Amino acid sequence: MKAERIVILTGAGVSAESGVPTFRGPDGLWEGHRVEDVATPEAFAARPGVVQAFYDARRARLAEVAPNAAHDALARLDREWPGEFLLVTQNVDDLHERAGSRRLLHMHGELKSAWCLACGARSPWEGPLAGGPACPACGAKGRMRPDIVWFGEIPYHLDAIDQALAACDLFVAIGTSGLVYPAAGFVETARFAGAYCIEINLEPSDMASRFHEQRTGPAGRLVPELVEALLSARAAA
């Protein structure tokens, strides 16, 4: 496997070993909630308090978790890889940046960002949004929503991601179920560009057959192995 330009896509599975539950647990629920009750614009319009409380709890939980070996290895790859590199995450946690990743795009938004519906500003956010705090940019009260891309909304950075995929020669999807579009389609774009495509997951995902190679097991073990192999091959070249 000879790589110059790498694109990595991560999903909730990369944070599972840090103790952040994945989206669809064995019960089909996200932390006890049906996805449509907390992760849609309709849910926010109908029951804003419930949705704010849900994301407030997810945001507060970030203080109790830490990056794992997979996040650390991806940050190392970013630091040491001399070629083009882009890490795209569907995760809304901040574990990639806390591990040190820099060439990183959050396509589904971030828990630690708040979006003001009055003025459009996005502000770094640490505490709760319940209670209707004032926007740091315009002062409007009660108009801040989580800066999260909900179902039915358009993900962020799609142009930049598409450009990177169309030019990459190695694409790796890690810990993602392949059910949420457009991320699930990234492997097609990468294949079309001629990239070698690897999936790392605890079990083959719904998109598994689209990849050239499957690596089955925990991200915390398989990602450091992949990064070590890529960097050693590069050093030997």
Name the site residues for ligand NAD (rule: CB under 6 A): 11-13, 15-17, 20, 22-24, 90-93, 108, 175-177, 179-180, 201-203, 205, 218-219
Residue 93: contacted member of Zn ion, ligand NAD, none (CB under 5 to 8 Å, by partner type) = ligand NAD
Distances (CA, A) of 237 to 5, 74, 219: 15, 21, 26
Is 139 or 153 the residue whose CB approaches ligand NAD more closely?
A: 153
CA geometry: angle 203, 24, 65, nearest 5 deg: 90
> What is the size of the binding site for Zn ion (CB under 5 A)?
8
Q: What stretch of H or E contains 163? A: helix 158-167
Q: Which of 46, 57, 66, 138 binds Zn ion (CB under 5 A)?
A: 138
Q: Taking CB under 5 A as the rule, does residue 134 contact Zn ion?
A: no
Is 50 or 208 the residue whose CB approaches ligand NAD more closely?
A: 208
Identify the residue whose tokens are 């990064």: 227
Q: How far apart are CA 96 and CA 109, in angstroms?
A: 13
Any catalytic annotation for residue 33? no
Residue 161: contacted member of ligand NAD, Zn ion, none (CB under 5 to 8 Å, by partner type) = none
Residue 137: contacted member of ligand NAD, Zn ion, none (CB under 5 to 8 Å, by partner type) = Zn ion
Q: How far apart are CA 47 and CA 113, in angstroms?
A: 20
Residue 174, judged by CB atoms within 10 A of its CB (0-12, 13-18, 19+), counts as buried
Identify the residue whose tokens are 């990183």: 104
Selecting among 96, 108, 157, 212, the annotated active-site residue is 108
In the bound complex, what is the minimum distance in angstroms from residue 109's beta carbon to Zn ion?
17
Q: How far apart are CA 78 and CA 59, in angstroms?
A: 25
Is 52 or 177 the residue whose CB approaches ligand NAD more closely?
A: 177
Identify the residue whose tokens are 């073990």: 221
Identify the residue whose tokens are 């990595």: 8
**Which of helix, strand or coil describes residue 47?**
coil
Considering only residues 104 through 123, tell me which ones interact with Zn ion, judged by CB under 5 A. Answer: 116, 118-119, 121
Residue 180: contacted member of ligand NAD, Zn ion, none (CB under 5 to 8 Å, by partner type) = ligand NAD
Active-site positions read: 108
* Residues engaged in binding Zn ion (CB under 5 A): 116, 118-119, 121, 135, 137-138, 140
